[in-house]
């Protein structure tokens, strides 16, 4: 029993672990104990053989492990789809803004398309249309502006639709002229969608922050 602490120290030294006693004390014991010296030699030999022995064959589990993994990390696919949807909305809004500006700009520059309206009234109308186009382009470039632009665009669309329908019914406006207002409706719907997505994203982030807290 007296040799047990020293043999534990020998085993620890073979494994690279702390001895639990001073090295000088262990060496002093080995110098005077033939049994522990033999034990240390046998332990070293057994340890060396165990470390140099060939590892048993292991089956290749690569296919099984990869098959068990999910096809995509949780949340990654949803985030990618959300980014794609946002990009699609922004590109569509950009196209609407460019189309709106393209329809309005010639009237302001060269007077084409002013119909029979007085010059200033035509210019004023075109200025509104260009303002709408700029609002669309601004939101397409910076979606965070969607919520701020929506009251203006929504109220304009809400007033313009019934007025245009009434003018169509009384024959005061041509169908092609009224059809141009569809750009406003499509653009406003895109802006509203971007604003709704931004609000939903903020709400989800706030809920996540409360849960984490």
Number of domains in the chain: 2
Q: Where are the alpha helices (DSSP H) in the chain?
A: 4-14, 23-32, 34-52, 62-68, 76-110, 119-141, 146-170, 175-179, 182-212
Share of the chain above pLDDT 70, in %: 78
* Paired tokens of 50: 């165990």
Is 67 a member of any domain?
A: no
Is 41 a member of any domain?
A: yes
Same-domain pairing of 35 and 113: no
Residue 108 pLDDT: 62
Is 165 a member of any domain?
A: yes
- The stretches in the chain having pLDDT less than 50 are 113-116
Same-domain pairing of 44 and 106: no
Q: Report yes or no on whether pTM surpasses 0.85.
A: no
Residue 115 pLDDT: 46
Residue 114 pLDDT: 45
Helix axis angle, 119-141 to 146-170, nearest 10°: 140
By residue range, what is the domain housing residue 25? 4-52
Average pLDDT of the chain is 80
Residue 4 pLDDT: 85
Is 61 a member of any domain?
A: no
């Amino acid at each position: 029993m007296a040799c047990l602490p020293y043999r534990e120290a020998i085993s620890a030294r073979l494994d690279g672990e702390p001895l639990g006693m001073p090295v000088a004390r262990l060496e002093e014991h080995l110098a005077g104990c033939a049994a522990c010296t033999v034990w240390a030699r046998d332990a070293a030999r057994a340890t060396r053989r165990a470390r140099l022995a060939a590892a048993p064959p292991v089956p290749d589990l690569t296919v099984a492990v990869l098959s068990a993994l999910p096809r995509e990390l949780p949340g990654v696919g949803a985030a990618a789809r959300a980014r794609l949807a946002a990009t699609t909305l922004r590109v569509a809004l950009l196209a609407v803004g460019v189309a709106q500006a393209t329809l309005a700009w010639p009237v302001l520059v060269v007077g084409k398309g002013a119909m029979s309206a007085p010059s200033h009234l035509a210019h004023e109308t075109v200025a509104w249309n260009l303002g709408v186009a700029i609002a669309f382009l601004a939101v397409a470039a910076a979606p965070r502006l969607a919520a701020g632009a929506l009251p203006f665009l929504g109220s304009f669309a809400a007033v313009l639709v019934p007025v245009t329908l009434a003018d169509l019914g009384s024959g005061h406006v041509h169908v092609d002229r009224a059809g141009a207002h569809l750009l406003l409706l499509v653009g406003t719907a895109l802006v509203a969608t971007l604003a709704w997505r931004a609000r939903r994203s903020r709400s989800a982030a706030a809920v996540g922050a409360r849960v984490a807290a």
